[in-house]
Structure 1
Amino acid sequence: MTQEAHVTQGPLTTEAGAPVADNQNSETAGVGGPVLVQDQLLMEKLAHFNRERIPERVVHARGAGAYGTFTVTRDVSQWTRAAFLSEVGKETETFLRFSTVAGNLGAADAVRDPRGFALKFYTEEGNYDLVGNNTPVFFIKDAIKFPDFIHTQKRDPYTGSQEADNVWDFWGLSPESTHQVTWLHGDRGIPASYRHMNGYGSHTYQWTNGAGEVFWVKYHFKTDQGIKNLPAAEADRLAGTDPDSHQRDLRESIERGDFPSWTVQVQIMPAAEAAGYRFNPFDLTKIWPHEDYPPIDIGKLELNRNPENIFAEVEQSIFSPAHFVPGIGPSPDKMLQGRLFAYGDAHRYRVGINADHLPVNRPHATEARTHSRDGFLYDGRHKGAKNYEPNSFGGPHQTDRPLWSASAVSGSTGSHPAATHAEDNDFVQAGDLYRLMSEDEKTRLIENLAAGISGVSRDDIAERAINNFRQADGDFGKRLEAAVQALRG
């Protein structure tokens, strides 16, 4: 069933509410004469049209979204005091935005790129945003490298095109990217649709229970539709013939009542085990192997309602990993720490300082009570209330109970690399991933990587990139080197 259009009866009006007499002909100085500035309906329409777009997201510009429901299926109160997770059967409204990373707003859906998996829970304690991807790891482990990384993925400032030299030069000089690059060029690098891929919180987060005990947690969203991917050739064809393929598939599946769903899982690590774990548990380029911390089913996520206006609800939706609720907080993950600032700052620039007043962004199950006032698009919601705290006029006040538990710190300030644990290096998990693949999967992986690396202009860039995969697994490197050489002649 398609979404019913919202029909407003009565005469057409200006933005100020005055009735419009003629919406077909602009006012002129006589028949065939020049248009008059006094035709304020024309001026209003053109001015509004010029401003109908806001700056697109620098990353994750191309996306689609839907509303849904998260339902708790397991008691997790032993690990977190978050109210929306407090009892089996509890339901929370959600909004999920899918996206590609590198493409602009008009790019195609069926491309080799990570997919954003940004989920907003409208909880009774405020909105909780879980901003992840369809991959459990990422290319880099420190946010200070993020602008440089994205510059390599976007258009070159001189050529105006994405350049293989930039992409592979950076990856070759950043060995930590080897795990994610292996993942990206494998079969799951191009999902068949948003419905047929997993989602991951990717980062490590803190859960705190009612007794103040701390746990580290990773989120997994396993698609109930099954994993389906596109071969490179089919993806190229689809991107050219149907650039909106993923967005259309999501919308139409919900319209016909075929609601996509995901089984929600968590991996849980008691805080005391983090220091001695074989991998740095806060390194975004690493996973926690399931044999160490088996995923536990805790809930079900279902998407069941399409947005009525893509611009208002998808383009203007904002997500920030800094949007926590009591019982959930950040970890020392250096990428996450940078994102706590960067996402909110991006939204304040792109959508405006009052973006959280928009219906898709404001809390749905509670009320936002702040002392923030004024600014672009301020809606006057506070009326005459005082705008400071503390005050003696009945205004909102602090709770004196932190949302998450404090973490111990020690040592001197400085630009420190991430801590190294017993089995940490940049290649071990990429090698593990390669060795898990079937022979056919390995062949496709090599073909996809070789196609990319062969496009660089310098032999040293190609060799450095190949060497990272050689260090992950000898067979991996040997086969990739031969494939690149064959394509480069």
Structure 2
Amino acid sequence: MSQTKTLTTASGAPVADNQNSRSAGPRGPLLLEDFHLIEKLAHFNRENIPERRVHAKGSGAHGTFTLTRDMAQYSSAKLFDTIGKQTPTFLRFSTVGGERGSADTERDPRGFALKFYTEEGNWDIVGNNTPVFFIRDPLKFPDFIHTQKRLPQSNLKSAQMMWDFWSHSPESLHQVTILFSDRGIPDGYRHMHGFGSHTYSLINAAGERHWVKWHYKTKQGIKNLPPAEAARLAGTDPDYAQRDLFGAIERGDFPKWRVCMQIMTEAQAAAHYENPFDVTKTWSQKEFPLIEIGELELNRNPLNYFAEVEQAAFGPSNMVPGVGLSPDRMLQGRVFAYADAHRYRVGTNHQHLPINAPRVPVHTYQRDGAMAFGNNGGAAPNYEPNSFADAPKQAPQYAEPPLALSGAADRYDHRVDSDYYSHAGALFRLMNDEQKALLINNIAGAMDGVSADVVERQLQHFYNADQAYGDGVAKALGVMAK
């Protein structure tokens, strides 16, 4: 017979009575000296860390990445050094605009944030289930996200502010077209593709850099929810995607994705007819075909949602030798913003938490701050350079090759290319009649009640992408077509 565990306080002291507070007599007031009562109430008040400003509602699971292709010509990263090698991963899915209590079946992009626990440290790729994004300059990110949240006065979502922003931001049309298509509401997280979205880079042992787009192709097949069914589930099972993912892994039906990449040389990028670092556009798969390099499998559910999903912290600033960033403006902004959000939301030492901690020794001169786990560096020096032979030293052999830059520093207009429409138009023309009708009806429904000036401005974007696109939305809105 197992021995009963003794209840303790967080400091390890045994608790004699967990049912009754200390009071001055059976009917008297409570005593401040009841440290157990105070500790329980104080901890309870702080159990909710601030939710993420974006991607607040999410699900996550542990898994593995298995390499299936020789990557030596592209990257020196050790996770790519042997075919068949497996690297532990953690993947967090999410909706973008909703709060933690929102429904999983809202029309919204889905986050697809992937952490690799490599033998050289942690590598994070932050992306979505779409290959593009609404904007291409991080200066506009706070403005955009405000339009996806709530009005300051009424605290209600507003179609007017969403479409007002989009109509003033024509570069958003490609992502808007995807969002209101049949793929705007995935059937859970298992039946959707993932994308790194941004342009990243790989660097090989010879110091050669290649630009790369990451794609994760679901092996479960694409499945999406009709709007009426999504609305029903939002009211009856708002945690539908969480339930589906957790249940599938529990029963051993492990979801898998083919990990693929598109590759572009620096010379090809310099001569490319479009900016290859523009996250509102995709790369042609005819010119830059998908190369399959491995398989991602999710095979273990978290034991504790808060510890492993809510406290999980991803950021493109987490890199290992052999991988890198790019001049993608949005990616550059996220390098700062993601890590800074974690410092605010979880704490200065969020990297120490088990879900975020690398699986390799860490040698840093960072010290102190809230929740500094372990011995906080012990007696080792907290400055560098220093005269200690056994203290951590920089390793120049891991330096990235130089990236050629040119031009005077200025605030360059990112809309100078004026091509906001060709990609959205091409996507529209790829759709069959049923998909086009669904897209148009979804847009018209979402624009219900939007002011005439915003409607007129947004309609012009649809027309610029494709005449039939504009005609269809105009007809659905009851507006005279052009």
Q: How many residues align?
A: 477
Distance 1:78 1:16 in 2: 53
Please report the TM-score for the alignment, with normalisation by the length of structure 2. Answer: 0.97
| Paired position in structure 2 for 1:435 | 429
User: Which residue in the other structure is 2:440 paired with?
Assistant: 446
Q: What is the rounded CA distance, in whole Å, between the counterparts of 1:268 and 1:52 in structure 2?
A: 45
Structure 1 window deviating more from structure 2 (204-213 vs 171-180): it is 204-213
Pairing of 1:403-418 with structure 2 (within 5 A): 403-418=399-414
- Equivalent residue for 1:351? 346
The one-letter code sitting in structure 2 at the alignment partner of 1:477 is G
For 1:78-119, what per-residue CA distance to the aligned partner results, in whole angstroms no more than 9, with x for missing partners? 011111111210110000000000001111101100000000
Task: Indicate yes or no: 2:15 matched with 1:20.
Answer: yes
Pick from 189, 194, 216 the counterpart of residue 189 of structure 2. Answer: 194
> Is the 1:207–1:404 contact (alpha carbons within 8 Å) kept by the matching residues of 2?
no
Distance in 1, matches of 2:329 and 2:72, equals 28
State yes or no: 1:56 paired with 2:26.
Answer: no
Q: CA deviation at 1:32?
A: 2.4
- Shift of the 107–403 alpha-carbon distance from structure 1 to 2, 3 Å rule, reads farther
Letter in 2 for 1:124: E
Q: Does the 8 Å contact 2:148/2:162 carry over to 1?
A: yes
1:377 partnered with 2:371: yes
> How far apart, CA to CA, are the structure 2 residues paired with 1:351 and 1:109?
23
- Structure 1 spans left out of the alignment, 5+ residues: 1-6
Q: How does 1:70-81 map to 2 (within 5 A)?
A: 70-81=65-76
Q: Report the Cα distance in structure 1 between the residues aligned to 2:472 and 2:12, rounded to whole angstroms.
A: 69
CA contact (8 A) 1:221 1:264 kept: yes
Q: Which of 468, 477, 485 matches 2:478? A: 485
Candidates 395, 402, 408, aligned match of 1:399: 395
Cα distance between partner residues in 2 of 1:291 and 1:469: 26
Query: Residue deviations 1:230-261, cap 9 Å, x none?
Result: 01110000011001111111111111111111
Question: What is residue 273 of structure 1 aligned with on the other side?
Answer: 268
Pick from 51, 60, 76: which aligns with 1:65?
Answer: 60
- Determine the C-alpha separation between the residues in 2 that align with 1:418 and 1:363: 37
CA shift for structure 1 position 350: 0.8
What is the one-letter code of the residue matched to 1:65? G
Aligned pair partner of 1:122 in 117, 120, 125: 117
Q: Which runs of 4+ in 1 moved over 6 A?
A: none
- The aligned residue for residue 325 of structure 1 is 320
- Out of 448, 467, 473, the residue aligned to residue 460 of structure 2 is 467
- Asked if the contact 2:133/2:172 (under 8 Å) is kept, the reply is yes
Match of residue 263, structure 1, among 243, 258, 262:
258
Q: Is the 8 A contact 2:198 2:277 kept in 1?
A: yes
Task: Identify the residue that residue 281 of structure 2 maps to in structure 1.
Answer: 286
Give the TM-score of the pair, scaled to structure 1.
0.95
Q: Measure, in 1, the Cα distance between the counterparts of 2:134 and 2:32.
A: 54
Unaligned runs of 5+ in 2: none
Give matches, 1:8-47, under 5 Å: 10-47=5-42
C-alpha displacement at 1:374, in angstroms?
0.5
SS at match of 1:132: strand
CA deviation profile, 1:356-377 (whole Å, cap 9, x unmatched)? 000000101x112100001100
Question: How do 1:298-313 and structure 2 match up within 5 A?
Answer: 298-313=293-308
What amino acid is aligned across from residue 13 of structure 2 in structure 1? A
- The answer (yes or no) to whether the contact 2:367–2:376 under 8 Å persists in 1 is no
Q: Read off the aligned partner of 1:414 and give its amino acid letter.
A: D
What one-letter code is carried by the residue in structure 1 that aligns with 2:409?
Answer: T
Match of 1:167, SS state, is: helix
Coordinate RMSD, CA, aligned = 1.5
Deviation at 1:141, TM superposition (A): 0.5
